[in-house]
Amino acid sequence: MEVQIKAKGLPTAKYLRNHANRRIRAALGRFGQAVQSVTVRLSDINGPRGGADKLARIVVQLKNRSLVMEEIGADMREAIDRLADRVQYKVACQMDRLIRAQRRQALIPIPIQAAD
């Protein structure tokens, strides 16, 4: 799984990139080859004015689709943690849906023609 983390306009960018990398790898590591790549963007929406303006955005590229999620908060660490939890849940739901669809296809009976 390839993980890219980009931080813009944040004073502790290196620390936040390391935190995001650990959290995302822990959240998505169990899905193995199903997750092809992950891109995380961390930014401060309105600069040093303060408030709930820290944006964490993730794009997860799966084999057959991609997921895009965002989390906004006053503290970037908390936003990253919430985003990691949410994306883990969503990817698990997508994988369950895919497995159920494959099982349904396996259970469809194939008609057998009688020999003449």
Architecture of the domain made up of 2-107: 2-Layer Sandwich (3.30)
Cα distance between the two ends of the chain: 54
The CA distance from 71 to 79, in Å, is 6
Interval 14-19 mean pLDDT: 91
Domain ranges of the chain: 2-107
The CA distance from 66 to 58, in Å, is 10
Residue 91 tokens read as 């990817």
What pLDDT score was predicted for residue 67?
93
User: Which pLDDT tens digit goes with each residue over 58-116?
Assistant: 999 998 889 999 999 888 999 999 999 999 999 999 888 888 887 777 766 666 676 65
The answer to which of 10-19, 46-55, 88-97 has the lowest mean pLDDT is 46-55
The answer to which of 34-38, 39-43, 58-62, 95-99 has the lowest mean pLDDT is 95-99
Write the DSSP assignment of 44-92 as a string of letters: ETTGGG-SS-EEEEEEEEESS-EEEEEEEESSHHHHHHHHHHHHHHHHH
Rounded to two decimals, the pTM is 0.81
